[in-house]
Amino acid sequence: MWKGRFSEPTAALLLQYSESISFDWRLWRHDIDGSIAHSAALEKAGLITAQERAQIADGLREIGAEIEAGTFQFKPELEDIHMNIEAELTRRIGDAGAKLHTARSRNDQVALDLRLYLRAECESLTELLRDLQRALLELAEANREIIIPGYTHLQRAQPVFFAHHLLAYVEMLARDVGRVGDTRTRLNVLPLGSGAIAGSTIPLDRDLIAQLLDFPAISQNSMDAVSDRDFAVELLAALALVAMHLSRLSEDVILWASSEFRFVTISDAYTTGSSLMPQKKNPDVAELTRGKTGRVYGNLLSLLTTLKGLPMTYNRDMQEDKEPVFGSLDTVKAALTVFAGMLRGTRINADACAAAVADPLLLATDLADYLVKRGVPFRQAHEVIGRAVALSAARETPLPSLTLEEFRALHPAFDDDLFEVFHLDRAMAARTATGAPSPQNIGAQLARWRTELR
């Protein structure tokens, strides 16, 4: 590429140190698409003939077919995907191939390739996120009558429908879909035509290239276009949030599948055993997903750190942008796929859930609300119910087993209808505020998501 300026060949050690073909090969399809569009602009500018353009396009498609088939031989000494394709094209078609790089730099070429690649990956990610939402929705719909304790501080707090708990993750993933979509919108800008830093004295029709590559916008500053990796950082941030949501869901699944909870049973296909203890059945999908979250976080910090001290415009440091991006995409896409499979093979243990939610202390707040509805200030009602709970604990008897006289000794507002508070079905039906887990609300939310995810 630069033999005219240099008097001795590049050291083999440097070639080994600086090559990127070992990971940027996956940009091949987008490099070929970008080069075909670039050749159209070269023809329009009168820099190549229609015949040369056809040679270039045919040659590139032939190379693409070989790469897809796994028969193309990449050469590390050519450094990257761009030069591997261009050098082979020139070898095959001669001078027409050597003209392809006219008015183009690897700086704007790689910026284009990465944007095209991530645009497609955003679409793939969105579908995987949607599929995990569908898996959660399917599990929720199949178990819409199941009630479990909701937890704060990992202590039993209030009763919720199991479906309501799962739908919380559907909501989280919906925000992830939105963030990925926002990222796709901002990255969908054509950088090609910016050259190495200051464009070129050979002006090409960038509108034509944008039209051919389906870009709705064109970069307006050549220096920003070749140095911008905000879109990659933004996608890594979105992926970090996806990983965080998956990690939280993993923690719930791990707890639910434990012998102490026994709320769910994961299928054998998505669990593993122990090399020593024959009775073990381990929730490896959830544990691995929780563990891989750290890698996704690290990739985000890695790219931010790489970019933070770079002067304008392109610097070779920016070659380090791809491995974090590729790594996070591979990790999160795999986690989304396997998690959806695991959920579709998970069974809910209704008896264990019913036993846990039978704890009357889950309705202590409802009992405070009972007093509030009779004119007792909430702080006073809270204290009264706290003393009732303490009395129940001291007597080693369930809260509903206290007598009406004992309740009235704590506050005269209690009446004999207070024991109706401990009817779980009635308690759930009373949670009618928007976003609360009443059966009616749950049904409406299931229907809404069924429509949205159809």
| Residues carrying an active site annotation | 153, 274
Give me the helices (H) in 190-321, please.
206-212, 222-227, 230-257, 284-307
Q: Please, are residues 126 and 153 in contact by the beta-carbon 8 Å criterion?
A: no
Q: Please, are residues 68 and 78 in contact by the beta-carbon 8 Å criterion?
A: no
Structure tokens of 135?
């898996």
- Give the Cα separation of 15 and 79 in Å (integer): 7
Cα angle at 244 between 239 and 245, to 5 degrees? 100
Identify which of 319, 330, 393 has the alpha carbon closest to the alpha carbon of residue 360.
393
- Give the Cα separation of 190 and 116 in Å (integer): 9
Cα atoms in the Cβ-side hemisphere of radius 13 Å centred on 32: 20
Task: Report the Cα 387 to chain-centroid distance in Å.
Answer: 46
- Give the Cα separation of 237 and 292 in Å (integer): 15
Identify which of 114, 312, 311, 116 has the alpha carbon closest to the alpha carbon of residue 232.
114
Structure tokens of 16?
């080994």
Cα distances from 331 to residues 194, 297, 326, 384, in angstroms, run 33, 11, 9, 51
Cα distances from 342 to residues 221, 270, 295, 296, 374, in angstroms, run 47, 6, 22, 21, 48
Cα angle at 226 between 223 and 232, to 5 degrees? 125
Q: Please, are residues 173 and 133 in contact by the beta-carbon 8 Å criterion?
A: yes
* H/E run at residue 85: helix 81-93
- 39-45 long-range contacts, Cβ below 8 Å, gap at least 24? 39/100, 40/208, 40/209, 40/212, 41/193, 41/204, 41/205, 41/206, 41/208, 41/209, 42/99, 42/100, 42/102, 42/103, 42/204, 44/204, 44/205, 44/208, 45/103, 45/202, 45/203, 45/204, 45/205
Q: Please, are residues 254 and 262 in contact by the beta-carbon 8 Å criterion?
A: no
Phi, psi of 80 (to 5 degrees): -135, 180
